[in-house]
């Protein structure tokens, strides 16, 4: 076990999130079992008031999760000196591979709570609250992931033994290694660049189509493409975008771009990517709920707004990440 201020903060934060999630889920079960929008009984009124409590809690959880993703990465970065051979957050995560899973569960909780917040937002715009039951059932899926996340995080920190020889990003993301991470960085460069811009191009094209023609297929396709854009972009950041940022042909670390040394360029890159992907996905996720009459126009309006947002965010993402490629003196010819 490591007694480190960041570790303590993360564990405290996770415990609070779990307590809040469980409490919200209990309320959620109560709400979806007894919810009757046509009743004006005192019970319905009190349930209605509880919906405010639940949405407040989830909004806060959402905020806390975003902060904890960053704190987790910072902490991993801060403790890398404890591990032989580790030079950044990657090294710390490798010291106990559960660390990667923690990162993934955090991202899943992030996306799930973001979806919940979006659902809540849509639901509250319709007078009959048509998504209420769906919404509160969703809570029962988020809570276990939040608990899993806290558990894995605990396991990660408990399992960290300082002085373990670990591979750092230099080794993990070096072309000679095995495993997913290093196969990402050894992806042939040219095809990767083509795939990256190709997928983004397709995504944007599809987004424009779905704005122009209001058909369901384009919405679903947009959600799928958004997901693909996400993975391809992460792969591209590791595979070639980071190289141009660091101006080093072998440095593939996805975390170092968050550092001051690189002018915090990672923040706009990740924030625009994550939110752009989210807004792309949510339009497709909401599509099936359009069938409910009272939601049709509300969802349509939201979809339009969110598609535009998604286009803008992804465009900004592409511009920022291409900036270094276009204007850096560094070239990858021969690599």
Partner 1 sequence: MDIIIKTENVTKIFNPGMSDEVKAITDVSIEIKRGEVVVLKGPSGSGKTTLLSLIGCITRPTEGRVIVNGKNVAKLQERFLTGIRQKTFGFVFQQFNLIRSISVIENIMLPLYPTNIKLSAIKKRAESIMEKLGISNKKDFKVQRLSGGEQQRAAIARSLINEPEIILADEPTAHLDTNLSEEIMRIFQRLNEDGKTIVIATHDPFIYERQFIQRTIEMRDGVVKNILNKNHDV
Partner 2 sequence: MEKHKKILEYTLSSLLRRRYKNLAIITVFSFIVAALYSILFLTHSLKKEALTVLKEAPELIVQKVSGGRHDLIPTDYMKRIQEIYGVGRIIPRYWGYYYDAITDSNYTLMGINGTHVLHSNSKDNENYPSPIPLPQGEGARGRVKDVFSDENIKGLKLLNGRMPSNRKECAIGKGVSDVRFTGIDGEIFLIDSKGKVLTFHVVGVFASESAILTNDLIVINKDDILELFGMPSDRATDIAVEVYNELEIPFVASKIREILPDTRPIMKGEIIRTYETLFNWRSGVIFTMFLGALLAFCILAWDKATGLSAEERQEIGILKAIGWETGDVLELKFWEGIVISFTSILTGMIIAYIHIFFLGASLFAPVLRGWSVLFPPFRLIPYVDLYQVFVVLFLTVIPYVASTIIPSWKAAITDPDTVMRG
Site for partner 1, rule CB under 8 A: 37-38, 40-42, 45, 48-49, 124, 127, 129
**Minimum CB–partner distance for residue 279 and partner 2 (Å):** 19
Which residues are bridge partners to 84 per DSSP?
Answer: 165
Q: Does 57 bind partner 2 (CB under 8 A)?
A: yes
Backbone φ and ψ of 84, nearest 5°: -55, 125
- Report the distance separating Cα 2 and Cα 233, nearest Å: 33
**Minimum CB–partner distance for residue 290 and partner 1 (Å):** 21
Backbone φ and ψ of 247, nearest 5°: 55, 40
> Measured from the CB atom, is 124 or 183 closer to partner 1?
124
Number of DSSP helices (H) and strands (E) in the chain, helices first = 12, 0
Q: Which stretch binds partner 2 (CB under 8 A): 11-19, 211-219, 241-249, 315-323?
A: 11-19
Which residues are bridge partners to 304 per DSSP?
Answer: none
**Minimum CB–partner distance for residue 2 and partner 2 (Å):** 7
Q: Does 39 bind partner 2 (CB under 8 A)?
A: no
Q: Does 13 bind partner 2 (CB under 8 A)?
A: yes
Three-class SS state of 295: helix
Out of 31, 47, 71, 225, the only residue in the binding site for partner 2 (CB under 8 A) is 71
> Measured from the CB atom, is 4 or 125 closer to partner 1?
125
159-188 residues in contact with partner 2 (CB under 8 A) are 162-163, 165
Say if CB 25 and CB 143 are below 8 A apart: yes
> Measured from the CB atom, is 132 or 239 closer to partner 2?
132
- Beta carbons within 8 Å of 229's beta carbon, 6+ residues apart: 199, 200, 203, 276, 277, 280, 314
**Minimum CB–partner distance for residue 163 and partner 2 (Å):** 6
> Measured from the CB atom, is 81 or 301 closer to partner 2?
81
> Measured from the CB atom, is 45 or 194 closer to partner 1?
45
**Minimum CB–partner distance for residue 259 and partner 2 (Å):** 10
Q: Does 250 bind partner 2 (CB under 8 A)?
A: no
Three-class SS state of 165: strand
Which residues are bridge partners to 165 per DSSP?
Answer: 84
Q: Which stretch binds partner 2 (CB under 8 A): 70-78, 151-159, 202-210, 285-293?
A: 70-78
Out of 36, 56, 250, 296, the only residue in the binding site for partner 2 (CB under 8 A) is 56
Q: Does 333 bind partner 2 (CB under 8 A)?
A: no
DSSP 15-64: HHHHHHHHHHHHHHHHHHHH--TT--SHHHHHHHHHHHHHHHHHHHHHHH
Backbone φ and ψ of 179, nearest 5°: 95, 165
Say if CB 328 and CB 249 are below 8 A apart: no
> What residues make contact with partner 2 under the rule CB under 8 A?
2-10, 12-13, 16, 19-20, 49, 52-53, 56-57, 60, 64, 67-68, 70-71, 74-75, 77-79, 81-84, 162-163, 165
């Amino acid at each position: 076990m490591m007694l480190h201020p960041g570790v303590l903060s993360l564990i405290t934060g996770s415990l609070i999130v779990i307590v809040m999630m469980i409490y919200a889920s209990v309320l959620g079960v109560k709400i979806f079992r007894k919810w009757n929008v046509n009743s004006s009984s005192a019970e319905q009124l009190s349930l209605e008031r509880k919906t405010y409590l639940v949405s407040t809690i989830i909004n806060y959880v959402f905020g806390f999760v975003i902060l904890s993703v960053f704190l987790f990465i910072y902490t991993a970065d801060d403790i890398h000196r404890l591990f032989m051979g580790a030079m950044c957050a990657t090294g710390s995560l490798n010291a106990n591979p559960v660390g990667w899973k923690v990162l993934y569960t955090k991202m899943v909780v992030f996306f799930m709570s973001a979806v919940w917040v979006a659902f809540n937002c849509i639901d509250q715009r319709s007078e009959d609250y048509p998504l209420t039951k769906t919404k509160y059932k969703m809570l029962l899926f988020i809570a276990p992931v939040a608990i899993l996340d806290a558990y894995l995080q605990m396991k990660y920190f408990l399992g960290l033994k300082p002085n373990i020889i670990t591979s750092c990003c230099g080794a993990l993301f070096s072309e000679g290694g095995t495993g997913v991470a290093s196969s990402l960085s050894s992806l042939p460069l040219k095809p990767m660049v083509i795939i990256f811009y190709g997928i983004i191009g397709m995504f944007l094209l599809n987004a424009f189509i779905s704005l122009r023609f209001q058909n369901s297929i384009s919405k679903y396709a947009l959600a799928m493409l958004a997901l693909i854009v996400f993975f391809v972009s992460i792969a591209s950041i590791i595979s070639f975008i980071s190289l141009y940022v660091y101006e080093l042909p072998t440095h593939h670390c996805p975390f170092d771009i968050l550092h001051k040394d690189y002018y915090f360029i990672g923040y706009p890159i990740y924030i625009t990517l994550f939110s752009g992907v989210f807004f792309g996905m949510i339009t497709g996720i909401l599509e099936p709920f359009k069938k409910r009459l009272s939601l049709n126009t509300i969802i349509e309006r939201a979809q339009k707004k969110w598609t535009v947002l998604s286009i803008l965010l992804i465009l900004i993402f592409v511009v920022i990440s291409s900036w270094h490629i276009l204007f850096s003196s560094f070239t990858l010819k021969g690599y």
